[in-house]
């Protein structure tokens, strides 16, 4: 009897030893990268966007960036389909994913799934500050994500979106740690319009569409139209080609409130109010007729006077408004990506 008990005891001990030798299955320690469709409401408008969270360790906090699009009905990807589809913001999100940076991009008023929202019945009531408030709501959403490192939150704006980034930085709390101003609107809006129109007329003259005399008359008429708009007088369209006449008519119609409120902002004045120590990147491309590098001189000086930190202005050789070079029109240019990574390096290395 005693032998049987001893044998049984040995058997149970052996069984227990075998079971203990099998390790428990380890809980997953990493989360895969994912796109999340997000919806947030601002001033009775449901705004739709894409939150991209890179692959990361469970519990890890990541740097994050709000991406802001350029002018017109530009959607979360940086497109105005079906005609203009450079995918600028979508490509930026992909590049930032490689550096483990969360991104949020959204369909602003007049674009994508958001549309005009609360302004659908009265589009003439929308003004530029409405877009800044919409961006501020997106910033708050990004700030509150459980994966976001609140100390490493930046705003990356393209073209008009860069001006919105500047405006936002002075209004939201906590303030962003950094701003990337990519091919920024660096002058008052109507000054940018005049510059672009003069450039187009010059090129048309070179192509033989206008004589030098006609070019001078058109240029004078453009400048006169800008003065009329700012004085809130009917625009004198004498000597203007039909497409430019239509543009100024639109400026006096549904778009008037937006044009006036955007044109009232001088970007260098906004930059001078930035918090000292804010990390700033400003890019301009030598092949960008929409934002020639010379137009960013006053903004660059204002950033210096505000005591912002580098990288500062980076001139991108041979790069166009959508951050591409002629040899690789479907990709973001390597020099643009290098400038962006120099900007984000502080937070990437801190993680």
The alpha carbon dihedral of 333, 164, 173, 264 has a sign of: positive
Instruction: Report the alpha-carbon distance of residue 182 to residue 336 in Å, rounded.
Output: 9
DSSP readout, 250-313? HHHTTTHHHHHHHHT--HHHHHTTSPTT-EEEEEEETT-SSS-GGGGHHHHHHHHHTT-EEEEE
The alpha carbon dihedral of 238, 241, 242, 247 has a sign of: negative
Residues 64 and 104 sit within 8 Å (Cβ to Cβ)? yes
Residues 332 and 323 sit within 8 Å (Cβ to Cβ)? yes
The alpha carbon dihedral of 250, 255, 257, 261 has a sign of: negative
Q: How many CB atoms lie within 10 A of CB 154?
A: 26
27: confidence class by pLDDT, cuts 50, 70, 90: low
Percent of the chain having pLDDT more than 70?
A: 91
H or E stretch covering 124? none
* Unique residue bearing structure tokens 């991209």: 52
DSSP readout, 142-196? HHTSTTEEEEEEEEEEETHHHHHHHHHHTTSSSPPSEEEEES---S-HHHHHHHH
Domain definitions of the chain by residue range: 31-188+265-350, 190-261
Reduced to 3 DSSP states, what percent helix, strand and coil does the chain have, rounded to the nearest 5?
45, 20, 35
pLDDT at 25: 54
H or E stretch covering 53? strand 45-53
Instruction: Report the alpha-carbon distance of residue 325 to residue 150 in Å, rounded.
Output: 34
pLDDT digits (tens, 9 = 90+) for 305-335: 999 998 999 999 999 999 999 999 999 999 9
The answer on pLDDT for 12 being more than 80 is: no
Options 1.20.120.420, 3.40.50.2020, 3.30.565.10, 3.40.50.1820; CATH for 31-188+265-350 is 3.40.50.1820
Cα–Cα distance list, 315 to 132, 270, 295, 320 (Å):
27, 22, 12, 11
End-to-end CA distance of the chain: 66
Q: How many CB atoms lie within 10 A of CB 224?
A: 16
Q: What is the mean pLDDT of residues 194-207?
A: 97
What average pLDDT is seen over the chain? Answer: 92
pTM score, whole prediction: 0.91
pLDDT digits (tens, 9 = 90+) for 87-141: 999 999 999 999 999 999 999 999 999 999 999 999 999 999 999 999 999 999 9
The answer on pLDDT for 170 being more than 70 is: yes
3-state secondary structure of 42: strand
Residues 105 and 131 sit within 8 Å (Cβ to Cβ)? no
pLDDT digits (tens, 9 = 90+) for 249-290: 999 999 999 999 999 999 999 999 999 999 999 999 999 999
Give me 263's structure tokens: 């044109």
The answer on pLDDT for 15 being more than 50 is: no
Cα–Cα distance list, 13 to 10, 16, 74, 217, 287 (Å):
5, 5, 71, 102, 79
The answer on pLDDT for 8 being more than 70 is: no
Cα–Cα distance list, 305 to 133, 150, 280, 338, 346 (Å):
27, 26, 13, 25, 22
């Amino acid at each position: 009897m005693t032998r049987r008990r001893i044998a049984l005891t040995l058997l149970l001990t052996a069984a227990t030893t075998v079971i203990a030798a099998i390790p428990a299955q380890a809980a997953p320690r990493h989360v895969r990268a994912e796109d999340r469709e997000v919806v947030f409401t601002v001033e009775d408008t449901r705004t739709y966007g894409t939150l991209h969270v890179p692959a990361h360790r469970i519990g890890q906090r990541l740097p994050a960036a709000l991406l802001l699009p350029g002018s017109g009905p530009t959607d979360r990807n940086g497109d105005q389909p079906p005609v203009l589809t450079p995918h600028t913001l979508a490509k930026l999100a992909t590049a930032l994913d490689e550096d483990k940076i969360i991104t949020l991009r959204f369909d602003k008023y007049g674009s994508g799934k958001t549309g005009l929202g609360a302004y659908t019945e009265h589009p003439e009531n929308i003004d530029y500050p409405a877009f800044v408030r919409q961006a501020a709501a997106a910033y708050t959403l990004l700030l509150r994500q459980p994966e976001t490192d609140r100390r490493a939150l930046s705003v990356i704006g393209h073209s008009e979106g860069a001006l919105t980034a500047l405006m936002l930085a002075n209004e939201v709390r906590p303030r962003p740690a950094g701003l990337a101003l990519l091919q920024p609107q660096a002058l008052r809006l109507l000054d940018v319009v005049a510059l672009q129109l003069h450039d187009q007329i010059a090129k048309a003259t070179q192509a033989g569409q206008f004589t030098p005399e006609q070019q001078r008359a058109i240029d004078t008429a453009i400048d006169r139209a800008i003065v009329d708009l700012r004085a809130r007088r009917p625009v004198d369209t004498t000597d203007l080609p039909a497409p430019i006449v239509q543009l100024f008519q639109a400026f006096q119609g549904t778009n008037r409130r937006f044009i006036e409120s955007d044109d009232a902002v001088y970007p260098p004045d906004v930059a001078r109010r930035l918090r000292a120590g804010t990390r700033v990147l400003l890019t301009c491309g030598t092949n960008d007729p929409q934002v020639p590098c010379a137009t960013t001189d006053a903004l660059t000086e204002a950033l210096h006077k505000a005591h912002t930190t580098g990288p500062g202005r980076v001139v991108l050789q041979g790069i166009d408004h959508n951050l591409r070079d002629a040899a690789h029109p479907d990709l973001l240019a390597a020099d643009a990506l290098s400038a962006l990574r120099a900007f984000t390096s502080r937070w990437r290395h801190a993680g």
